[in-house]
Amino acid sequence: MDATGCFGRVALYVSGQLSSPDIEEADVADNDFDVIVIGAGPGGYVAAIRAAQLGLKTACVESRETLGGTCLNVGCIPSKALLHASELFEEANHGTLAKWGVKVGKVELDLEAMHAGRLEAVKGLTGGIEFLFKKNKVTWLKGHAKFTGKDSIDVAGTAYMAKNFVIATGSSVTPLPGVTIDQKRIIDSTGALELDKVPGHMVVVGGGVIGLELGSVWRRLGAKVTVVEFLDQILPGMDGEVRKEANKLFKKQGFDIRTSTKVTKAEAGGENIKLIVEPAKGGDAETIEADVVLVSIGRRPNTEGLDLDKAGIALNKQGQIEVDHDFRTGVAGIYAIGDVTPGPMLAHKAEDEGIAVAEILAGQIGIVNHEVIPSVVYTYPEIAAVGKTEEEAKAEGVEVKVGKFPMIANSRAKTNRDTDGFVKIVADARTDRVLGVHIIASVAGTMIGQAAQAMEFGATSEDIAYTCHAHPTHSEAIKEAAMAVNGKPIHI
C-alpha cells in the first residue's frame, strides 16, 4: 500500500474515528478491492456480479439513486414499457380486433396508469439488481467516482483503491447546437418517456432507433409525428433495402418523414415551438411549428468529471475510451466496456463485455465476438439485424449471394395478418457462410436470436435451410430466405 492510498483512512484518522494502528486494517477491510467497477448500467452491474461470482472482492460505484444505468432507468426498459402499452392502445383503438371477432367498447387513454406501468417495470428491475448485488456480495459505493491516481478513486470524499478498475460509465444524450433542452417542450429521450399529455404535434429530430421508437409511442397515442433526418434515409447504419422498406411502412402509419433536412434552431418563445429547418445541402429555410420537439440525434460517452487524466487515460476524437481486444485501456489495471468505448451503443453488447472483462480479471478467457452483435428497433413492425449489411460486405470487396423472403408468404404472418416486411440473408458467394441477416417483421427482435446463434456457430445459408423450423412460426421465413440464397425457396 503506498502513501497515496490513505485518503479515506486519513479522513477517519483526522476526525478521530481511527487511531494510527487502525489505519491499515480499516483500509484493507473497507476501501481496498480486487475490482472496482465504475457505473452500474448493464455493462457495469453485470461485470461486478460476474467478478464477485468468480471470487473477487468487488465494488461498483453508481451516482444514480438506483442501479441499472441508462438501460433500466431511462432507456431500454421504460421505452419498451411504453411501446408495449401504446401498441395495446392502438390495437384496441384502431386495430384489427373487430376483424378477429373481438368487440371492444369506447377505448380511452389513461396516460397516468400507462406511466405507472412503466415506473413499476423500472422499479422492479432496478430493485432486482440491488438484490443481486447483495446476493453476490458486491459493495455498492454510492456517489460519483473520479480518479485520483492510476489505482485510486474518490467517491463522495472517500478514497478507494483496487487492483483493477473497469470504467463502465455509459453515455448520455448528444445535444443539438441551437436547441436547448428544457424537458417540457424541447425534450430528450428521458423527457419523452415522461410527457404528461399527448402532444398535438411532435417533431422528432433524428430518424434513428430511439427517435423512431419514442415517436411511435406518441403517434400511437394520438400525436401527429414529424421526423426530421439529416441523411437521405432514416435508420443510419442499417441495410439499404431495410431502410427503404421501413421508411415506406412508417409513412403508411402516418409519420411525416423529412429526410435530407437539418434543424438549425428552435425558438420556444410563444405557444408553439418554431423549429427552423433547411435542406441538408443548404437552401431556403422553413419553419415547422410543434408542441413538443424530441431531440434524438445520438448519444455521447460519459467521461466528464472522471478525472481520467489523473489515471493517464486519453480519449479518442469521438470522446470514447479506446480499448484492445481484452478491454484494456493503455493504463495497466484499468479496463473499459460498454457505451463509453467504441462500437454499437447497446445494452447486450455492454453486458457481454461485462462478463468477458470479469472473466479476464479472474484469470479466465473472456471473449466477445463483436462481429455478431444483434440490434433491434422495437417499432411496429420490429426491425432487427446481425452482421454485415449487403452494402458493407460489398464495400469490403466480398462477393455476396442474397436470399430474401417476404413475410406475406409466411403462413403464420398471413394468419395473424402481420405480413409487413421480409427476411434478407447475405452470404459469402464463395463459401456460403452467412455474413448478415436483416429482418423487418412483427417479431423480428425475437427472430434475430436464431440468426445470431447460427452466425456465432459459423453457419452457411445451407445449414439454416436444412434446419427443421417449427410450423407455423414467423421463423420459417428465415429458413425460406436461407433457401432463397441458392434460389430454392418453397413458398414463393
Per this entry, what is the length of the chain?
Answer: 492
Give 194 or 462: the residue with its C-beta nearer to ligand FAD. 194
Q: Which residue has the cell 434475430?
A: 448
Give, as one character, the DSSP assignment of residue 272: S
Give 304 or 456: the residue with its C-beta nearer to ligand FAD. 304
- Residue 340: how many other CB atoms lie within 10 Å: 28
Give 160 or 378: the residue with its C-beta nearer to ligand FAD. 378
Three-state SS for 148?
Answer: strand
Give every strand in the sheet of 201-205, ordered side by side.
186-187, 292-295, 201-205, 224-228, 256-258
Give every strand in the sheet of 382-387, ordered side by side.
375-377, 382-387, 434-441, 422-428, 400-406
Residue 275: its H or E element: strand 273-279
Give, as one character, the DSSP assignment of residue 284: -
Instruction: Find the shortest distance in angstroms from Cβ 106 to ligand FAD.
Output: 31
CA distance 362 to 355: 11
Give 45 or 405: the residue with its C-beta nearer to ligand FAD. 45
Three-state SS for 423?
Answer: strand
Instruction: Find the shortest distance in angstroms from Cβ 486 to ligand FAD.
Output: 33
Three-state SS for 195?
Answer: coil
Give 5 or 42: the residue with its C-beta nearer to ligand FAD. 42
Give, as one character, the DSSP assignment of residue 174: P
Look at phi and psi of residue 307 and say left if phi exceeds 0, alpha if psi is from -120 to 50, else beta. left
Residue 327 near residue 237, CB atoms below 8 Å: no
Give 18 or 321: the residue with its C-beta nearer to ligand FAD. 321
Instruction: Find the shortest distance in angstroms from Cβ 242 to ligand FAD.
Output: 17
Give 189 or 419: the residue with its C-beta nearer to ligand FAD. 189
- CA distances, 75 to each of 192, 193, 195, 303 (Å): 11, 9, 15, 19
| Assigned C-alpha cell, 109 | 387513454
> Measured in Å, how far apart are the chain's first and last C-alpha atoms?
71
Burial class (CB in 10 A: 0-12, 13-18, 19+), 463: middle
Instruction: Find the shortest distance in angstroms from Cβ 481 to ligand FAD.
Output: 24
Give 168 or 263: the residue with its C-beta nearer to ligand FAD. 168
Residue 158: its H or E element: strand 158-167
Between the CA atoms of 305, 311, 313 and 318, what dihedral angle is there, to the nearest 10 degrees? -10
β-partners of residue 289 are 274
Residue 72 near residue 122, CB atoms below 8 Å: yes
Instruction: Find the shortest distance in angstroms from Cβ 169 to ligand FAD.
Output: 3
List interacting residues with ligand FAD (CB under 6 A): 38-44, 61-64, 69-71, 75-76, 79, 144-145, 168-171, 189, 210, 302, 305-306, 338-339, 345-348, 350, 378
Instruction: Find the shortest distance in angstroms from Cβ 216 to ligand FAD.
Output: 12
Positions marked active-site? 471
Instruction: Find the shortest distance in angstroms from Cβ 39 to ligand FAD.
Output: 3
Give 71 or 435: the residue with its C-beta nearer to ligand FAD. 71
Q: Where are the alpha helices (DSSP H) in 208-266?
A: 209-220, 240-252
* CA proximity to 401, closest of 423, 428, 422, 438: 428
CA distance 398 to 433: 12
| Angle between helical axes of 111-136 and 76-94 (0-180°, round to 10) | 150
Instruction: Find the shortest distance in angstroms from Cβ 390 to ligand FAD.
Output: 23
Instruction: Find the shortest distance in angstroms from Cβ 331 to ligand FAD.
Output: 16
